Amino acid sequence: MDAFYSDQAYRALVKSPAELVAQTLKATGANARGYTAAAAAMAPMGQVLFYPPNVAGWPGGSSWINSSTLLNRINFANAAAQRSQASMTAQTLAQLSDTLVDANVSPTTRDGLEAFAAAHSADQAGLLFMVLATPEFQLN
């Protein structure tokens, strides 16, 4: 068990677009019918499913992250959170943080999220987005 939390393993991988999209959709309670849209959302993040750049596959790791893909990752979380606003069950910041980022974010981020939650108490989608947009959520 400790090995999972070792420095070598814990948040040592960048989520691939497929992982990021799947986890985001699960977090926003989206249904499975939007799967083609979900696949399409991965393309601007640098991954077209079943269409790797060459036979070696996707290089992964830091190659998922550039200025364009990072903005796309964050904007996708925003759009997904907005879309699911109506169907979402209310969750506290503590619950969101626990499920999505292992209740382990930097103190600055924790303070920032708490401040957002306090200032926008009626905005469940906004809060969910803020958690999904953290650097911590970009990693596995």
Partner 1 sequence: MFSRRDFLKQGLVPVFAGSAVPSVFANGVAAAAADSPNATPSDRVLVLVQLAGGNDGLNTVIPFQDGAYHDARPTLRQDQGVLGLNAQLGLHSNLKGLKASWDAGQLAIVQGVGYPNPSLSHFASMSIWETASVQGGIGDGWLGRYLNYLDQVGETPNHALEGVSAGSLVPPELRSKTPVTALQSLRTFRLQPVNEHGTQVDVENPLMKFYGAFKGAGPAPFGALFDTTLQEALQASHALQATDATYQAKATYPANSPIASSLKLVAETIVSGLGVRVAHVTLGGFDNHSREKPVLQGHGLGDRVLVMTWSEFGRRVKENGSAGTDHGTAAPMFLLGAPVKGGLYGQQPSLTDLDNGNLKFGTDFRSVYASVLQGYLKAPASDLLGGNYEILPLLKA
Binding site for partner 1 (CB under 8 A): 7, 10-12, 14, 43-46, 53-56, 59, 62-63, 65-72, 74-75, 78-79, 82, 105-109, 112, 115-116, 120, 122-123, 125-126, 129-130, 133-136, 138-139
Q: How far is the CB of 140 from partner 1 (least distance, A)?
A: 10
| Token pair 């849209």 in the structure block, residue | 37
Residue positions counted in the chain: 140
Of the two residues 32 and 77, which places its CB atom closer to partner 1 in the complex? 77
Cα-Cα end-to-end distance for the chain: 16
Q: How far is the CB of 52 from partner 1 (least distance, A)?
A: 10
Which residues, including other chains, have CB under 8 Å from residue 137's CB and lie 6 or more apart?
15, 77, 100, 101, 131
Of the two residues 1 and 107, which places its CB atom closer to partner 1 in the complex? 107
Contact assessment for residue 88 and residue 29, using Cβ atoms and an 8 Å cutoff: yes
| Token pair 């600055």 in the structure block, residue | 108
Q: How far is the CB of 122 from partner 1 (least distance, A)?
A: 7
Which residues, including other chains, have CB under 8 Å from residue 73's CB and lie 6 or more apart?
17, 20, 45, 138
Q: How far is the CB of 82 from partner 1 (least distance, A)?
A: 6
Q: How far is the CB of 34 from partner 1 (least distance, A)?
A: 19
Of the two residues 85 and 95, which places its CB atom closer to partner 1 in the complex? 85
Contact assessment for residue 53 and residue 76, using Cβ atoms and an 8 Å cutoff: no
Of the two residues 30 and 124, which places its CB atom closer to partner 1 in the complex? 124
